[in-house]
């Protein structure tokens, strides 16, 4: 059962917290990208997290339908089937669902897990993200409490966010002109999050420390991992507890800064932009090198061997898997699978 059960997922997060490592959380949109993620985790002997956004779900359902919920269920069910071939654990997660989409996206997915559980099956998803960070913190926590209760009833972990991750990524809340002060979650805000949600169910927390979605030139993004340390210290001193923290906008981050966040309780790092590029780069190379064969021009018939989608999608899968393996190395999760131990 390589898609983790709720007990196994909790053990994964506990192991990462205790061992100062984290899991890459990679966004997928297709069978090919699912296979790339599974290959990477298997090659690295690392457990990991496979996640999808509302946009990914819409894409997977087909351009005639654009049904985010249906597409998400399709991709999740496919992952359950494909993951059975491997000896590492993966968890399924949904990324960045804003409050105005939660009723039509998160609730049906939680219900889909409830239906599976009633049939004696594993959870469809192991965690979900409700991104209400565009709301004032009190409103954010009010809706987060509602969804944490729904999730907890099905042994699903909820991810919440306070503060704003800059940039833009598949509908995420930030923008390129987000004021600097909103890019850094304060210790006081972190305590408010804990006080609002503690005791309802297990949750992960995406505190912001200058992280930005997308990819930027060196020096453009000013990360302050010490923000996470200050928040964790405040929580430890007041309640003797610690957060399971999430690092959003991991693409393009300096390995030393990634390493520092692991010491402060980051157990999950989202990576999307880098894997999108890794996937696309060999396709571009293939097309440019095989231009004459890809096209039927001047009465010719082209070369089926090079315009067969498998010829370039295999290269894309390999390249994406290689970038994911690198993420496992950066997050110190290589060789640390708990498969067969829990």
Indicate the burial class of 185 (C-beta count within 10 angstroms; 0-12, 13-18, 19 or more): buried
Segment holding 94, helix H or strand E: strand 90-97
Which pair of tokens denotes residue 313?
């999608």
Closest CA to 37 of 282, 268, 323: 323
Residues in the chain: 342
- Contact at 8 Å (CB) between 112 and 151? no
**Residues 66-78 as b or e (16 or more Cβ within 10 Å = b):** ebbbbbbbbbbeb
Segment holding 269, helix H or strand E: strand 266-271
Segment holding 49, helix H or strand E: strand 48-52
Helix axes 54-61, 68-83, angle to 10 degrees: 90
Segment holding 205, helix H or strand E: strand 203-207
Closest CA to 52 of 90, 9, 97, 7: 97
Which pair of tokens denotes residue 53?
């956004």
Beta-carbon count within 10 A of 261 CB: 26
Ramachandran angles phi, psi of 205, nearest 5°: -130, 120
Q: Which of 47, 67, 87, 95 is catalytic?
A: 95
Known catalytic residue at 244:
no
Q: H helices of the chain, where?
A: 6-19, 31-44, 54-61, 68-83, 99-118, 137-152, 187-197, 226-239, 255-262, 273-289, 291-294, 304-307, 309-330
Ramachandran angles phi, psi of 337, nearest 5°: -60, 145
- Contact at 8 Å (CB) between 327 and 321? no
Cite the active site residues.
95
């Amino acid at each position: 059962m390589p898609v983790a059960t709720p007990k196994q997922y909790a053990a994964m997060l506990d192991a990462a917290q205790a061992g100062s490592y984290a899991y890459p959380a990679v966004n997928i949109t297709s069978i090919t990208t699912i296979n790339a993620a599974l290959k990477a985790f298997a090659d690295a002997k690392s457990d990991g997290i496979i996640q999808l956004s509302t946009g990914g779900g819409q894409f997977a359902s087909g351009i005639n339908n654009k049904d985010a919920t249906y597409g998400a269920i399709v991709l999740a069910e496919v992952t359950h089937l494909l993951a059975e071939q491997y000896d590492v654990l993966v968890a399924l997660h949904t990324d960045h669902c804003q409050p105005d989409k939660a009723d039509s996206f998160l609730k049906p997915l939680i219900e889909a897990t409830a239906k599976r559980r009633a049939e004696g099956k594993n959870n469809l998803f192991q965690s979900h993200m409700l991104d209400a960070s565009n709301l004032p913190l009190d409103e954010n926590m009010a809706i987060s409490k509602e969804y944490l209760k729904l999730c907890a009833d099905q042994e699903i972990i909820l991810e919440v966010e306070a503060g704003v991750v800059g940039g833009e990524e598949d509908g995420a809340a930030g923008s390129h002109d987000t004021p600097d002060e909103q890019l850094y979650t304060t210790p006081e805000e972190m305590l408010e999050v804990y006080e609002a949600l503690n005791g309802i169910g297990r949750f992960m927390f995406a505190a912001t420390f200058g992280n930005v979605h997308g990819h930027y030139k060196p020096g453009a993004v000013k990360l302050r991992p010490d923000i996470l340390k200050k928040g964790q210290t405040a929580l430890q001193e007041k309640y003797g507890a610690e957060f399971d923290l999430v690092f959003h906008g991991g693409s393009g981050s300096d390995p030393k800064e990634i390493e520092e966040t692991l010491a402060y309780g980051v157990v999950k790092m989202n990576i999307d932009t880098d894997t999108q590029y890794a996937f696309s780069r060999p396709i571009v190379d293939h097309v440019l090198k095989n231009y004459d064969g890809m096209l039927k021009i001047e009465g010719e018939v082209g070369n089926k061997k090079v315009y067969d989608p498998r010829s370039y999608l295999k290269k894309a899968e390999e390249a994406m898997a290689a970038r994911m393996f690198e993420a496992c190395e950066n997050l110190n999760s290589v060789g640390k699978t708990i498969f067969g131990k829990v």
